[in-house]
Each structure stands twice: as structure tokens, then as C-alpha cells.
A and B are shown apart, each in its own frame.
Chain A
């Protein structure tokens, strides 16, 4: 068997010729195969073009092409062997009947799931395989490499190009490194991409199949709205493609229904290892709801669970990626850092994003997050320039990804920081329109509305954002805490501010001011905590307030609370600050 494969490989044509033959064959109506077999052939060919010379496993074909669940077992479900046999037969019959065009044929050898592109017509002879062993794992790649004659035309030509490319890239790297003094020897930077997910939803009972299928469609829509993941096409997922450097996940969902509730059990598995990573159960009450509303609610809940920045998959991505990795993981880490408010983490994120953009300048996600990160680093001597750059970056992100809620959130933040409140609100509304399930975007819009003086709208939006998820987003909590403070409900304000899990200065200030208003003995301690982080806090308070773009009455209220906590802030300093 190996000898046959080696011989065929030795006479293969170039990738361009192979690809041309694949496309020609797939578009030829005389090639009698089902769509599913065409998908399998394309999959095998693409894997080969991507450098997979040792064939793929039945498991990969079953999951990636045939939509089988991660628990696929070829011994009880031989569909891959059957479909490959049919495909092989169709290929042989076609070439026997119509011959080859330009001398190129496509061949799937017995015992391996691999597409070969020999330059001669290959037909099966019955005796040829008489002593063969049908062993998918039996192919020995090491032996392949030891036979000089087996050097692929595909590989040879590809390698020639690759070598030229590598030489050019190496020269470039050497030049850049020499100029910039960069350490490059032995270092390989990992550029992460958005993870790819493949969804399989089935009903626990046959009668629920239609409902499950509609919910799945709604879920696919909701997931794509998040733009944090790449959602693989149903039934044919090239999620194992070598070209993808992002990880891939399989989400298996089982749909259950009783009279008055619907629930789904889900599990997420790593596509490359098959390891089960996370599992859970979601349940929604259906009483008084239309079927469409039930679907939307379930899809929204699942999409948030899987695809939100703090969702299951992005959490795995953050913790599973190397510290020094660039790309998508920098975007996620920046979102975490911005949420938690730690200045050091935000500064690290800036570095990570700048380096990612140096490698991939057009990445809209990194562009959008860099814009937000620049705005979160106040106090720089060139603050004005930073704001201008942030606005330019946000506009660039929206321009290159006009359907991204992330890009619009960054535009909202940049416009608000530049004092363009109306434009900021418009951008925020657009972000929420693009992804109604993004509670973070809604919460950020709420803060912009509230800070700009649209207090009722801000509070209503914050309540909405909090309803979407188990834990209300930081900005939604902040709006509610600010509103409680502005209404004189200092106890509520202190409690809400305590629940916000971050080290942001505005939150710390609000906590301290609320405790000050309550004459709490904890207030001086909280003030001391703030001063330990910024000894110059009292003197620079007015500048900070300007950076927060709060309404004068709220800022003055905070100032009064801080004074009661013992802060020595110049009286009326805040009133002199220009606010939007």
C-alpha cells in the first residue's frame, strides 16, 4: 500500500494544476456524486494543499464534513468508509469513462483518506490490493521521507516558493532586527486568531427536532453577531484546516422541552484533542412567551455564554494562550484589563496590541481595542495626541469592520472622550443594534448616556444590560451606583460600588464618597487606599473628573463626599473643570 502511494506521490502535478483539476471535476455534471461526497473530496484536497501528506483520520472527516458529534465511533458508524468508497468508485468510473484532462487525475488510494493528484491515469486492479491491509493508521510518514523518489511535485514546487519566501522574510527580519535591536534568535511569536466553533444541536426527543433546529439557526445568528468567534458552516467545517492558526471548538447541544420550560445541555470540546473542556445547562421558562421569543431568548443566553468576552470560550483562549502571544488573545486581554481597571495591565495590553498591529496592521479588533486602551491611559504628557489617535483608530476599525459591535464601542468611547456626545450615543446605539446580546456594549452606552446628562435613559439602559446576564457588567453597575449617589441613596451607592469588581479610580472614588456621605468609619481607610495608588490624588482630582466627563452636579457631589471622608480637595476645583 505504501509503495503504491509513494509511486503516485512521485508523479504528482503542481498545486495549481491539482486545484484546477479539482475545480474542473467538481463542476463537471458527468461526475456522478452527491454533494456530501463533493464536500469530502474538497476537504481531502484542501488538507493536502495545506501540506497534510499523511492523510486524515475518519474521525476528522466525520466531524468536519459530515457533522457527526464529538463522540463519533467509526466502528459502529462506518459512514466515512462507505462515503470514501463511493467517492473512490465514482472517481475511477469517471476517469475510465472520460479520461483525464491535461493528464491530471485525482485518486484516493485504498486504506488512506488522502487525495493524490498523479499526472497519469490510475485505475484500481483487483489483484493490486489482494494483500493490502485496510489500516488507516498504518501509513508511515517517516518511511515516506526516507525515499528520495517520493518527493512530491506539489511539495517540490511549493517548497521552492516557500524557500524563496522564507529567505526573503529572514532577510527582512534580520534587517529590521539590526535596525531596531530586536531579539529574534530562537524566538517564535505566536499570533493567535479568533477561535472557530462548530455547533451541533440535536433534540433529545424526535418531536422537538424542528424546534431544536430553529433554535440552532437563531444561535448561529446570535454567535456571529458577537464577532469574537468564527462560526463554522454547518455540516462542512474545515475547522481542522492547517491554515487556521486559531483553536477550534465543538459545541454539542442537546435540546429538551417540557410543557412550561425549555432547557439545553451543552458541552464544549477541543476539536484537535477531543478533550471535554466545559459543560453546562441552561433553562428558560416558556410561560406566556411566543415560540419566536423562546428561541431568541435561548439563543441569546447560549451565545452570551459561549461568545461574550467573559464567555466560556474566550476565557479558555485567554488562559490557554502563551503569555507572549499576539493577535486575538491581546484583544481579549485588553478587554479584561479595561474592565478591571488595572493601569499596569492596561499598559501591558497597549504594548501587546501595538505589536499585534505591527504584524497585522489591518486587524479591526486590535485597532478598536488599542483605541480604547489609549483612552484608558490618562495622565500622559501627550494626552491630546492620544485622544486624536484613539479617534482615528476607532474610525479605522469601524471602516474595516462595519458590522462589528467592538468597533462601534471603541468609536463611542473615542467620540465621547473627544467631547462629541451626540456622535458617541449614535455609535453606542449602533453597537447595541449590531449585537443586542452584548450586555457590555449596552452597559457602556448606559454610562455614556448617564455621564452626558441623559440620566433616565442611562439608568434604563443599565437595567437592560444587567438583565441580559447573570452578573451585571461593570459599567451598568457603575451607572446604577452613580444614580443612587446622585439621588442621595448613599447606602445603595456604597453597596453597588462595592459589588463592582475592579480597581478603577472612578469606582474607588464613588465608594469612598458614598462612605464619606454616610460618615462611615471605613471612609478614611478607603481614601488612604486611593492615595496609596496615587499620592497626588487630591490635587489632580479636578483633572480626573474632566477625564471622566461627568456632569458638574455629579462631580460636585463626589467632591463633597470625598471631603467628608477627609480628602483635602481645593474647594470648587471641580466646578472650574469644563465638562461636556
Chain B
């Protein structure tokens, strides 16, 4: 039951954090990502999902060894899939802006 702040531009703090995480992960697409995030509200859900999946990977990696936590690999795969989805989206929506 997550309360939304309602103050950030992307509709939720989780979406904003997810966007920042993706900008760190995909530095070559930083500029385009920011512009698309402002234009495409449908990306917010993807950013939120990325934030939550990345946070879960960090928590699981911190708390337990890899072989004790079979879900870690699953969440790493989810993160990789979301990165791939975002890259696909960015490439499909060219903005002609510098990165």
C-alpha cells in the first residue's frame, strides 16, 4: 500500500526513481529517456517496475548469498527485460536530441 506523493513530474516517486536508475544504467540514452518520460505517461509504469525490481535485487544481494536466494536471478532477469523494453521504446520513438 504505497502512498504516492503527487508532487513529482512522473506521477510517483517510484517512477522518478526508476527513471533515474535507468539513466544511470543506460547513460547513452539519458537525454532521450528524460524527454520521452515527459511525453509518454505509459512509461511511468515501466519505470516504477524497474525501481521496484532493482531495489529487490539490491536487497536480496545484500541480505543473502546468491545460492540461498533463488529469486535473485529472476529479479535480475526482470531488470534486464525492462532495460531491453526501454531501449526498444526509445529506438522506436526517435526525438533527434543529443544524449
Contact = CB atoms under 8 A, between A and B. Distances in A.
Asked if A and B are interacting partners, one says yes
Interface of A: 32, 34, 77-79, 81-83, 85-86, 88-90, 92-93, 96-97, 123-138, 202, 206
Interface in B53-99: 53, 56, 67, 70-71, 74-75, 78, 81-82, 85, 88-89, 92
A109 B41 CA distance: 14
B3 A85 contact: no
B6 A130 contact: yes
Given A131-B4, A134-B3, A206-B67, A85 B9 contact: no
Given A77-B71, A82-B78, A124 B42 contact: yes
Contact of A130 (B11, B42, B45): B11
Contacts of B43: 89, 93
B44 A124 contact: yes
A133 B3 contact: yes
B85 A78 contact: no
B4 A134 contact: yes
B4 A133 contact: yes
Nearest to A90: B85
Q: Which of B49, B70, B71, B82 has the most CB of A within 10 A?
A: B49
Contacts of B41: 92, 123-126
A126 B53 CA distance: 21
Nearest to A134: B2
Nearest to B7: A130
Q: A-B pairs with the 8 shortest C-beta distances? A: A92-B42, A130-B6, A89-B45, A126-B11, A85-B49, A85-B45, A89-B46, A134-B2
A57 to B, nearest CB: 13
Q: Which of A86, A128, A132 has the most CB of B within 10 A?
A: A86
Contacts of A92: 41-42, 45
A126 to B, nearest CB: 4
B44 to A, nearest CB: 7
A77 to B, nearest CB: 6
Interface residues of B, number: 34
Contact of B88 (A32, A34, A96, A134): A32
24 contacts: A77-B56, A77-B71, A78-B56, A81-B49, A82-B49, A83-B49, A83-B78, A89-B42, A92-B41, A93-B40, A93-B43, A93-B89, A96-B42, A123-B42, A124-B42, A124-B44, A127-B11, A130-B7, A130-B11, A134-B3, A134-B4, A136-B1, A202-B70, A206-B70
A85 B42 contact: no
Contacts of B53: 78, 82
Contacts of A85: 45-46, 48-49, 52
A206 B85 CA distance: 31
A266 to B, nearest CB: 19
B23 to A, nearest CB: 17
Nearest to B10: A126
Contacts of A96: 40, 42
B18 to A, nearest CB: 9
B92 to A, nearest CB: 8
A36 to B, nearest CB: 10
A129 B12 contact: yes
A206 B3 CA distance: 38
Nearest to A78: B52
A134 B15 CA distance: 13
A32 B85 contact: yes
Contacts of A128: 11
Interface in B1-48: 1-4, 6-7, 9-12, 40-46, 48
A493 to B, nearest CB: 56
A34 B81 contact: yes
A132 B6 CA distance: 8
Nearest to A202: B70
Nearest to A128: B11
B46 A86 contact: yes
B6 A134 contact: no
A97 B88 CA distance: 13
Nearest to A131: B6
Given A93-B43, A124-B11, 8 more contacts: A32-B85, A89-B43, A89-B49, A126-B41, A129-B11, A132-B4, A133-B4, A134-B3
B41 to A, nearest CB: 5
A86 B44 contact: no
A206 B69 CA distance: 10
A78 B57 CA distance: 11
A283 B77 CA distance: 36
A97 to B, nearest CB: 8
Contacts of A136: 1
Nearest to A86: B49
